[in-house]
């Protein structure tokens, strides 16, 4: 091989070495907080956390879910089931939200999926946010989960939040909308009616409160 | 009942019948899941790569130049996705969980034994160089011809043959302590001895 | 031959469940529909497949230059666009090392309580942290202001070490795994969002 060819290969090799992601073989370091769990549960949870780490999903929500279960006195089987379920939801949320989604968005997306939001609606919400120039969907997704938790049917919730996102509603106005709906429900209003009414107002007025 | 061809389905999807794409998903998902699973070494990555491949294929469906060979075109996308994912995540120990595979397949006759064997194979596969693993899987598991593999991967036929040969050599080396003694003796032309099955 | 056993094992069919199909179709439905049939192909530029360059001097140099350019362009694009998935992992690593915390006030009206604590993912659901123990302000009003990292959180009040109570003024999370719901807290940079 000529010296010139050797130099060329050396150049490419150097480039490859420099440019390749320098990543240590990520061993599964068990989170020390998991020692609160019994051995069997700990092993099962650590395996799920490990899978999440390797697929670059946020691991903290999984550890947190396990610790929550331990704190609430749930048995090992229930904790493992909850962690696995969340793992699946995080994965689905990431697919729907696409590359570029932050950990908080993925987490919020998983919560929304758990609340019953269909995956396609999650993808739609992301798409709508991008078109409306909204950088993050964390807050709208939090609103989805909250409305469902307060009794607004998921289909209605999904339509409402999608409309609010499309209208370009700001974060502060989202917060105001949420508060208004909550107060209306606490005053005895039907959840869906309150949400739809307040949504129309929020879009019209940019979220100005009447409370 | 006549089954629509891939080309017919692609044409209808391109005309707006998106729901019909589900038919293509169902046709190819299982077969290509197998490749993704062996290439990437775990269920989560395999599902993600496959899902990604299907959605990318849908997005760029108008660029499928030969809809009759949609499957091959989709497979090329999947092979590339597996390469990208494999490269991005680096070489790492594949934690192949046999439970995962049990979820995929039909009921096993001897689950414990088979799963142990499977785990050994997957572990050995994981230790091959990616291009060797890719060539081995495409040649022997997906049963493609070298010309087709060459079109799929961009590598020359002689390079591919070398990769396959090296993959076989390496697998033999890695699996030598779990292969049945009897098989090894048969291969080497050695006389029968008392049966001592490796586990 | 042993290799045949290996191949036979690897050829065993793999079966995906219907959830996979549903997930793919969910994304497909959210994408713009195709409209123009085969005419769309005629209108689109053709894809050109570039085979790997032969190992010659010039080819290797060109490859190195092209890759370097591509790397530089990719780096610039990544800096301009929304973050890549690798940044998600960096998120976690970064948040573990440097967490920006914001003061958040938690308030619960519980006239008959003797003790009120806040537990959540920000304190690993551990009630022993004094900084999250509420003080009685009078008239049944309990409150505590604590530093909470920026981000998305779940939490609850624990009254008298035994009663789990959601924050009535906060958004809810459907946390039905353990039979006790939680409240959501979104702490953003600048102003706390609840």
Q: Do B104 and C16 touch (CB under 8 A)?
A: yes
Instruction: Look at residue B141 in the predicted model and tell me its pLDDT.
Output: 93
- Quote the number of domains for chain C: 2
Looking at every residue in chain C, the average pLDDT score rounds to 75
Same structural domain for residues B136 and B195?
Answer: yes
Q: Is C19 part of a structural domain of the chain?
A: no
Q: Do B30 and C37 touch (CB under 8 A)?
A: no
Q: Do B92 and A91 touch (CB under 8 A)?
A: no
- For the record, the structure tokens of B43 come out as 């269920």
Chain A residue at shortest CA distance from C168? A182
Q: To the nearest whole angstrom, how far is the Cα of C62 from the nearest Cα of chain A?
A: 10
Instruction: Look at residue C158 in the predicted model and tell me its pLDDT.
Output: 94
Q: Which residues pair with C145 in a beta bridge?
A: C105
pLDDT band at C2 (very low <50, low <70, confident <90, very high): confident
Q: Do B90 and A21 touch (CB under 8 A)?
A: yes
Proportion of chain B above pLDDT 70, given as a percent = 73
Token match 């994304």: residue?
Answer: C27
Chain B residue at shortest CA distance from A23? B90
Q: Do B179 and C21 touch (CB under 8 A)?
A: no
Kindly report the CATH number assigned to the domain that includes residue B147: 1.10.10.10
Who wins on pLDDT, A179 or B93? A179
Looking at every residue in chain A, the average pLDDT score rounds to 83
Same structural domain for residues C170 and C189?
Answer: yes
Q: Is C105 part of a structural domain of the chain?
A: yes
- Cα C33 to Cα A197, B12, B62: the distances in Å are 32, 11, 11
Lowest mean pLDDT among A92-101, A180-189, C91-100: C91-100
- Quote the number of domains for chain B: 2
Picking from C6, C24, C40, the nearest residue to B62 by CB comes out as C40
- Quote the domain boundaries for residue C160: 99-193
**DSSP 8-state secondary structure symbol assigned to residue B62:** G
Q: Is B198 part of a structural domain of the chain?
A: yes
Q: How many CB atoms lie within 10 A of CB C80?
A: 6
Is the pLDDT confidence value at B73 over 90?
yes
Is the pLDDT confidence value at C55 over 60?
no
Q: Do A25 and B91 touch (CB under 8 A)?
A: yes
What is the Cα–Cα distance from C85 to B45, expressed in whole angstroms?
A: 14
- Taking CB atoms and an 8 Å cutoff, what residues of chain A touch C93? none
A34 Cβ partners below 8 Å, 6+ apart? A42, A45, A46, A49, A63, A66, A67
Q: Is B102 part of a structural domain of the chain?
A: no
Which residues of A54-196 form beta strands (DSSP E)?
A: none
Q: Do B44 and A55 touch (CB under 8 A)?
A: yes
What is the Cα–Cα distance from A50 to A67, expressed in whole angstroms?
A: 16
Q: Is C121 part of a structural domain of the chain?
A: yes
What is the Cα–Cα distance from C125 to A60, expressed in whole angstroms?
A: 13
Instruction: Look at residue C69 in the predicted model and tell me its pLDDT.
Output: 62
Average pLDDT of span A69-95: 92
Looking at every residue in chain B, the average pLDDT score rounds to 78
- Cα A132 to Cα A145, A161, A166, C189: the distances in Å are 21, 13, 6, 22
Is the pLDDT confidence value at C93 over 80?
no
| Residue from C178, C183, C189 whose CB has the most chain A CBs within 10 Å, to mutate | C178
B95 Cβ partners below 8 Å, 6+ apart? A28, A47, A50, A51, A54, B41, B42
The SS3 of residue A129 is helix
**DSSP 8-state secondary structure symbol assigned to residue C133:** B
Burial of B25 (0-12, 13-18, 19+ CB in 10 A): buried
Lowest mean pLDDT among A27-41, A104-118, B57-71, B102-116: B102-116
Lowest mean pLDDT among A158-167, A178-187, C122-131, C132-141: C122-131
Average pLDDT of span C65-88: 51
- Answer for the pair A126, A162: CB distance below 8 angstroms, yes or no: no
| Secondary structure in 3-state letters for A95-127 | HHHCCCCCHHHHHHHHHHHHCCCCHHHHHHHHH
Chain A residue at shortest CA distance from B52? A95
Instruction: Look at residue A163 in the predicted model and tell me its pLDDT.
Output: 94
pLDDT band at B95 (very low <50, low <70, confident <90, very high): very low
Q: Is B81 part of a structural domain of the chain?
A: yes
Chain C residue at shortest CA distance from A56? C89
Dihedral class, residue A77 (left if φ above 0, else alpha if ψ from -120 to 50, else beta): alpha
Residue A113 — φ and ψ, nearest 5°? -65, -40
Q: Do A21 and B95 touch (CB under 8 A)?
A: no
- Answer for the pair B62, C41: CB distance below 8 angstroms, yes or no: yes
| B-C contacts at Cβ under 8 angstroms | 125
Is the pLDDT confidence value at C188 over 90?
no
Average pLDDT of span B57-71: 91
Instruction: Look at residue B88 in the predicted model and tell me its pLDDT.
Output: 62
Q: Is C24 part of a structural domain of the chain?
A: no
Domain ranges of chain A: 30-97, 101-211
Q: Do C14 and B154 touch (CB under 8 A)?
A: no
Proportion of chain A above pLDDT 90, given as a percent = 59
- Taking CB atoms and an 8 Å cutoff, what residues of chain B touch A55? 44-45, 48
Who wins on pLDDT, B112 or A126? A126
Same structural domain for residues B9 and B77?
Answer: yes
Residue C113 — φ and ψ, nearest 5°? -75, 150
What is the Cα–Cα distance from C194 to C177, expressed in whole angstroms?
A: 23
Reported as a single tens digit per residue, the pLDDT across A37-60 is 998 999 999 999 998 988 889 999
- Taking CB atoms and an 8 Å cutoff, what residues of chain B touch C21? 22, 25-26, 29
Is the pLDDT confidence value at B96 over 70?
no
pLDDT band at A32 (very low <50, low <70, confident <90, very high): confident
The H-assigned helical ranges of chain B are: 6-14, 21-40, 43-59, 70-89, 98-104, 111-126, 130-136, 146-153, 157-175, 181-188
| Domain edge (last residue) among C66, C98, C130 | C98
Same structural domain for residues C104 and C182?
Answer: yes
CA A17 to chain centre: 35
Q: Do C177 and A78 touch (CB under 8 A)?
A: yes
Same structural domain for residues C166 and C80?
Answer: no
- For the record, the structure tokens of A155 come out as 């289909």
Instruction: Round the CA-based radius of gyration of chain B to a whole number and report it.
Output: 19
Reported as a single tens digit per residue, the pLDDT across A159-206 is 999 999 999 999 889 999 999 999 999 888 999 999 999 999 999 876
Is the pLDDT confidence value at C16 over 60?
yes
Kindly report the CATH number assigned to the domain that includes residue B62: 1.10.1740.10
- For the record, the structure tokens of B53 come out as 């491949």
Model pTM score:
0.49
Picking from B58, B59, B171, the nearest residue to C6 by CB comes out as B171
Q: Is B98 part of a structural domain of the chain?
A: no
- For the record, the structure tokens of B77 come out as 């996308």
pLDDT band at A9 (very low <50, low <70, confident <90, very high): low
Same structural domain for residues C93 and C109?
Answer: no
Picking from B47, B90, B95, the nearest residue to A50 by CB comes out as B95
Instruction: Look at residue B118 in the predicted model and tell me its pLDDT.
Output: 78
Reported as a single tens digit per residue, the pLDDT across B161-178 is 999 999 999 998 888 766
The answer for A 16-75 residues in CB contact with C (under 8 A) is 19, 21, 33, 56-61, 64-65, 67-72, 74
- Taking CB atoms and an 8 Å cutoff, what residues of chain C touch A142? 152, 171, 184, 186
- Cα A53 to Cα A39, A165, C14: the distances in Å are 21, 31, 25
Of the candidates C13, C12, C2, which has an alpha carbon nearest to the alpha carbon of residue B168?
C2
Instruction: Look at residue C77 in the predicted model and tell me its pLDDT.
Output: 53
Same structural domain for residues C124 and C177?
Answer: yes
The SS3 of residue C113 is coil
Is the pLDDT confidence value at A23 over 80?
no
Bridge-based pairing state of the strands C135-138 and C141-149? antiparallel
Proportion of chain C above pLDDT 90, given as a percent = 26
Same structural domain for residues C88 and C109?
Answer: no
- Answer for the pair B136, B163: CB distance below 8 angstroms, yes or no: yes
Reported as a single tens digit per residue, the pLDDT across B119-143 is 788 888 888 888 999 999 999 999 9
- Taking CB atoms and an 8 Å cutoff, what residues of chain A touch C95? 103
C8-28 per-residue burial string, b: 16 or more CB within 10 A, e: under 16: eebeeebebeeebbebbbbbb
Is the pLDDT confidence value at C43 over 50?
yes
Average pLDDT of span C19-48: 72
Q: Is B114 part of a structural domain of the chain?
A: no
Bridge-based pairing state of the strands C141-149 and C101-109? antiparallel
Q: Is B116 part of a structural domain of the chain?
A: no
Is the pLDDT confidence value at C94 over 60?
no
Same structural domain for residues C114 and C188?
Answer: yes
Instruction: Look at residue A143 in the predicted model and tell me its pLDDT.
Output: 95
Mind giving me the DSSP string for B118-162?
Answer: HHHHHHHHHTS-HHHHHHHIIIIIS---HHHHHHHH---HHHHHH
Q: Do A21 and B88 touch (CB under 8 A)?
A: yes
Same structural domain for residues B84 and B1?
Answer: yes
Of the candidates A171, A189, A169, A172, which has an alpha carbon nearest to the alpha carbon of residue A199?
A169
Four-point Cα dihedral A153, A157, A160, A166, nearest 10:
-150
- Cα B135 to Cα B126, B145, C49: the distances in Å are 13, 11, 19
Q: Is B184 part of a structural domain of the chain?
A: yes
| Domain edge (last residue) among C98, C115, C131 | C98
Bridge-based pairing state of the strands C151-159 and C116-120? antiparallel
Same structural domain for residues B29 and B78?
Answer: yes
- Quote the domain boundaries for residue B85: 1-90
Same structural domain for residues C65 and C117?
Answer: no
| Domain edge (last residue) among C31, C66, C98 | C98
- Answer for the pair C143, C105: CB distance below 8 angstroms, yes or no: yes
C124 Cβ partners below 8 Å, 6+ apart? A33, A64, A67
Picking from A23, A26, A95, the nearest residue to B51 by CB comes out as A95
Instruction: Look at residue B44 in the predicted model and tell me its pLDDT.
Output: 78
Kindly report the CATH number assigned to the domain that includes residue C146: 2.60.40.10
Q: Is B109 part of a structural domain of the chain?
A: no
Picking from B51, B88, B104, the nearest residue to C14 by CB comes out as B104
CA dihedral (C22, C35, A97, B25) positive or negative: positive
Q: Which residues pair with C152 in a beta bridge?
A: C186
What is the Cα–Cα distance from A208 to B17, expressed in whole angstroms?
A: 42
Same structural domain for residues B1 and B81?
Answer: yes
Is the pLDDT confidence value at B179 over 80?
no
Is the pLDDT confidence value at C62 over 50?
yes
Who wins on pLDDT, B54 or A36? B54
Same structural domain for residues B13 and B82?
Answer: yes
pLDDT band at C68 (very low <50, low <70, confident <90, very high): low
Same structural domain for residues B138 and B193?
Answer: yes
């Amino acid at each position: 091989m000529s010296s010139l060819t050797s130099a060329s290969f050396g150049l490419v090799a150097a480039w490859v070495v420099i440019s390749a992601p320098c990543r240590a073989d990520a061993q599964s370091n068990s989170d020390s907080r998991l020692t609160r769990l019994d051995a069997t549960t700990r092993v099962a949870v650590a395996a799920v956390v490990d899978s999440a780490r390797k697929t670059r999903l946020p691991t903290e929500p999984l550890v947190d879910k396990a610790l929550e279960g331990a704190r609430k006195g749930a048995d090992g089987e229930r904790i493992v089931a909850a962690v696995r379920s969340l793992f699946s939801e995080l994965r689905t949320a990431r697919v729907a939200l696409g590359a570029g989604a932050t950990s908080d968005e993925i987490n919020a997306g998983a919560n929304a999926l758990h609340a019953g939001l269909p995956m396609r609606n999650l993808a739609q919400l992301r798409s709508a946010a991008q078109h409306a120039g909204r950088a993050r969907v964390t807050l709208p997704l939090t609103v989805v989960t909250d409305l469902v938790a307060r009794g607004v049917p998921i289909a209605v919730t999904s339509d409402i939040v999608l409309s609010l996102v499309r209208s370009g509603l700001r974060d502060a106005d989202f917060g105001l909308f949420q508060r208004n709906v909550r107060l209306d429900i606490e005053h005895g209003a039907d959840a869906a009616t309150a949400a739809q009414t307040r949504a129309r107002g929020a879009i019209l007025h940019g979220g100005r409160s009447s409370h | 009942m006549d089954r629509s061809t891939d080309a017919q389905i692609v044409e209808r999807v391109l005309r707006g019948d998106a729901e019909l794409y589900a038919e293509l998903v169902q046709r190819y998902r299982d077969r290509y899941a197998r490749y993704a699973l062996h290439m990437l070494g775990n269920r989560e990555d395999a599902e993600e790569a496959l899902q990604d491949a299907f959605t990318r294929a849908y997005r760029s469906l108008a660029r499928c130049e030969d809809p009759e060979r949609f499957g091959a075109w989709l497979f090329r996308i999947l092979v590339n996705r597996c390469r990208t994912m494999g490269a991005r995540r680096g070489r790492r120990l594949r934690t192949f969980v046999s439970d995962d595979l049990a979820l995929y397949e039909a009921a096993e006759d001897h689950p414990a034994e088979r799963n142990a064997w499977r785990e050994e194979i997957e572990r050995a596969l994981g230790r091959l160089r990616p291009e060797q693993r890719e060539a081995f899987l495409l040649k022997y598991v997906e049963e493609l011809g070298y010309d087709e593999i060459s079109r799929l991967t961009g590598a020359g036929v002689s390079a591919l043959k070398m990769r396959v040969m090296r993959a076989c050599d390496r697998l033999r080396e890695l699996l030598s302590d779990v292969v049945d003694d009897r098989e090894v003796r048969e291969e080497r032309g050695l006389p029968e001895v008392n049966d001592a099955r490796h586990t | 031959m042993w290799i045949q056993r290996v191949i036979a094992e690897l050829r065993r069919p793999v079966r995906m469940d219907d959830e996979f199909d549903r997930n793919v179709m969910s994304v497909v439905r959210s994408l713009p529909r195709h409209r123009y049939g085969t005419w769309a192909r005629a209108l689109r530029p053709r894809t050109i497949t570039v085979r790997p360059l032969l190992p010659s001097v010039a080819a290797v140099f060109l490859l190195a230059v092209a890759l370097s350019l591509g790397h530089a362009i990719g780096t610039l694009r990544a800096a301009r666009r929304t973050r890549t998935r690798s940044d998600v992992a960096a998120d976690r690593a970064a948040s573990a090392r440097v967490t920006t915390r914001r003061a958040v006030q938690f308030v619960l009206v519980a006239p008959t309580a003797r003790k009120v604590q806040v537990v959540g993912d920000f304190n690993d659901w551990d009630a022993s942290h004094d900084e999250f123990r509420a003080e009685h302000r009078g008239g049944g009003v309990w409150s505590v202001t604590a530093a909470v990292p920026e981000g998305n959180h779940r939490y609850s009040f624990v009254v008298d070490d035994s009663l789990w109570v959601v924050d009535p003024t906060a958004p809810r999370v459907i946390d039905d795994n353990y039979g006790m719901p939680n409240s959501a807290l979104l702490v953003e940079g600048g102003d706390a969002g609840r």
